[in-house]
């Protein structure tokens, strides 16, 4: 049973843009709140994320998942990417602000006793790590997290061309959309390099951390997980035979988690249960 279920509620994210979040609090709430951050070209309802949420609420955790404010979705159409203009203007600092705003919103719902744990996948894992020195965060678990923001941008001649044209596109392999990226994204990174330095945050973290990576990840190589684990002086959990999404895909029509993601969640729950 759930004492509170909120689906597709509106929050105000970065730059005043509205987006959506889900919140569930079970009757047997253990006092811990898990906040989940999706990755690049992702959204809160992608693939098996809903089943992941169920696995945590069944175990007594309150759970929040949300769409970042500029992921290309809208309040009316949160699935996939109907608003490519907003996607083109997304930037890492916006996603940092989105998480900060979610913190504030959830804090209002839990006026006392907040115990925040974060889970982030891919780019969302990098955002989670940027909060590893936040005293409000007790534990962070990452799934195939990026280790560096600057390396995500075009280089050399491609960077020069991006500056000259003002944008470049990358095809979404699932929807086949050409996803635009404004040069403003790079300028924002240059203006916020210290805040967006994942290595520095890992080396100076206060939150306990668990780093999980699939050994067959070709989107974010496991070397990035190795770097994060090294910087944070923590163990890297390697999931054999698993790629970037740990066996999940979108849409996910099965009523059970894929094996790789189920294994990862078992590690995370055991880690969060220690507190």
Domains contained in the chain, CATH given? 2-151+194-273 (3.40.50.1820)
Residues 201-246: pLDDT tens digits?
Answer: 999 999 999 999 999 999 999 999 999 999 999 989 999 999 999 9
| Distances from the Cα of 69 to the Cα of 5, 76, 83, 95, angstroms | 21, 13, 11, 7
- Return the pLDDT at 247: 98
What is the value of pTM for the model shown? Answer: 0.97
Sign of CA dihedral 229, 242, 54, 36: positive
Residues 9-41: pLDDT tens digits?
Answer: 999 999 999 999 999 999 999 999 999 999 999
Give 149: exposed, middle or buried? Use CB within 10 Å, 0-12, 13-18, 19+. buried
Distance CA 160, CA 55 (A): 46
- Return the pLDDT at 107: 86
Which distant-in-sequence residues (6+ apart) come within 8 Å of 104 by Cβ?
none
Q: Taking each helix axis as running N to C, give the angle between helix 184-191 and helix 156-165, from 0 to 180 degrees, rounded to the nearest 10.
A: 110
- Return the pLDDT at 114: 73
- Return the pLDDT at 108: 84
Structure-block tokens of residue 185: 């994204």
Residues 42-60: pLDDT tens digits?
Answer: 999 999 999 999 999 999 9
- Return the pLDDT at 90: 98
Residues 69-114: pLDDT tens digits?
Answer: 999 999 999 999 999 999 999 999 999 999 999 999 998 877 666 7
Give the torsion through C-alpha atoms of 124, 127, 131, 132, to 10 deg: 70
A 10 A CB-CB count for 251 gives: 11
Asked if residue 129 lies in contact with residue 202, where contact means CB atoms within 8 angstroms, the answer is: yes
- Return the pLDDT at 4: 83
């Amino acid at each position: 049973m759930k004492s509170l279920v909120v689906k597709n509620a509106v929050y105000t994210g970065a730059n005043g843009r509205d987006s959506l979040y889900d919140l569930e609090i079970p009757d047997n709430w253990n006092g811990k709140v898990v906040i989940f951050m999706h990755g690049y070209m992702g959204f809160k309802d992608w693939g098996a994320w809903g089943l992941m949420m169920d696995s945590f609420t069944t175990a007594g955790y309150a759970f929040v998942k949300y769409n970042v404010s500029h992921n290309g979705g809208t309040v009316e159409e949160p699935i996939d990417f109907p608003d490519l203009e907003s996607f083109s203007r997304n930037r890492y600092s916006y996603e940092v602000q989105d998480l900060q705003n979610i913190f504030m919103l959830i804090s209002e719902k839990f006026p006392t006793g907040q115990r925040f744990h974060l889970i982030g996948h891919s780019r969302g894992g990098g955002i989670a790590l940027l909060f590893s020195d936040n005293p409000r965060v007790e534990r962070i678990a990452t799934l195939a997290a990026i280790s560096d923001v600057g390396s995500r941008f075009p280089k050399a001649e491609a960077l020069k061309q991006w500056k000259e044209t003002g944008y470049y596109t990358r095809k979404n392999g699932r929807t086949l959309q050409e996803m635009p990226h404004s040069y403003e994204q790079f300028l924002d990174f240059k203006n916020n390099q210290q805040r967006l330095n994942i290595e520095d945050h890992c080396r100076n973290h206060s939150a306990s951390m668990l780093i999980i990576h699939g050994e067959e990840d070709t989107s974010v190589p496991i070397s990035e997980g190795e770097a994060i684990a090294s910087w944070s002086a923590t163990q890297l959990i390697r999931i054999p035979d698993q790629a970037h999404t740990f066996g999940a895909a979108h849409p996910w029509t099965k009523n059970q988690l894929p094996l790789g993601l189920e294994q990862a969640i078992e590690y995370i729950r055991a880690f969060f249960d220690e507190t």
